Amino acid sequence: MATTQDNVGRAVSAPVDTSAALQRESAEPGKRTITLRRVLFIVALIGFSILFLYPFVWLLSASLKTRETVFNNELIPNPVQWGNYGEIWQRAPIAEWLFNSVTVSILAAATVTLSSALVAFAFAYFRFPFRNILFGFVLASMMLPGAVMMVPQFLIWKTVGEAVPPLGLNTLTPLWAMNLFGSAFYIFLLRQFFLGLPREVFEAARVDGANYFTMWRKIAIPLTLPALIVVFIFELKASWTDLMKPLIYVRDVDLFTLPRGLQLLVAQFDITSGGEGQMQLLMAAAVIVTLPMIVVFFLGQRYFVEGIATTGRKG
């Protein structure tokens, strides 16, 4: 009797084992497809990473070569000329240009971040007539080409300089002070963040006696810190690489920023411009200009990625 029951049990369980095996076999092609896609994705990432990193690697390599070998396309310089950096540092006021760039970039980034956040909070929190129309005008200002505003802005700073010389032309003030009035793009970006904050939090703060500025400073700003860091990094990079404003407003070499100074070095060293042909020194100066922004990005990468991801989620 026991043998008969065992045979029946094996007969019943056999189809179950067969179906499980079929399920495993059918799942294996799906796993292989996922693995293949992942491998292709990783290969594509590595390929694009090499594509984007190669120009900087070449620049770094060229900055360590001699005058004769600067364009030989060998990534490993032989011999390595570390003295190129010391020579360009001595032949040009790199330290002064670096200080000017750091000052202008930090002031420009800080002012535009705070002013844009203040305006964005007003558009997100307050309900008033024609709010959407006014916000539309702010967005429409992004359609104005920058060249259209150059002459009016120059005349404004010329007039300001006549009244207050330390704030006029041939000073660092025009390079950052215009950011005190905010940026349409940053206002739009930060408004989207502020709209995602629960309105009940601000209403509770109002009940506790907080004024609007306190609500912005102690509630809205801390809750949107990743977005503010994104705006700060964007403007820091834009101001750091800006060449047009220094060309328009600054004449003294001691007041040059790094991009303006690099343009001067191009005329001095580029043989096609009638210069000395010391291109390895020009490459070393270009590395000095580029490295700070790479460091800034890596320091703020976590906040940068978080801010971009949050922007995508809030649509």
Q: What integer pLDDT is reported at residue 147 of this predicted model?
A: 86
Tens digits of residue pLDDT in 157-206: 999 999 998 888 999 999 999 999 999 999 999 998 899 889 899 999 99
Q: What integer pLDDT is reported at residue 19 of this predicted model?
A: 56
Whole-model pTM: value is 0.81
Instruction: Tell me if residue 188 falls in helix, strand or coil.
Output: helix
Domain boundaries, given as residue ranges, for the chain = 1-62, 84-314
- Which CATH homologous superfamily contains domain 84-314? MetI-like (1.10.3720.10)
198 touches 243 (CB < 8 A): no
Q: Which alpha helices (DSSP H) does the chain contain, by range?
A: 2-62, 83-91, 94-125, 131-140, 146-163, 184-195, 199-207, 212-215, 221-223, 225-240, 244-249, 258-269, 279-299, 301-314
Quick one: tokens of 89? 């540092």
Half-sphere exposure of 123 (CA within 13 A, CB side): 25
User: Using CA atoms, how far apart are residues 254 and 100, in angstroms rounded to an integer?
Assistant: 9
Q: What integer pLDDT is reported at residue 101 of this predicted model?
A: 96
Q: Is the dihedral of CA 222, 102, 186, 306 positive or negative?
A: negative
Number of neighbours of residue 277 by Cβ within 10 angstroms: 14
Q: Which alpha helices (DSSP H) does 92-224 contain, by range?
A: 94-125, 131-140, 146-163, 184-195, 199-207, 212-215, 221-223
Q: What integer pLDDT is reported at residue 273 of this predicted model?
A: 65
Question: Nearest to residue 229, comparing CAs of 126, 314, 147, 114?
Answer: 114
Query: What residues of the chain score a pLDDT lower than 50?
Result: 1-2, 4-5, 7-16, 22, 312, 314-315
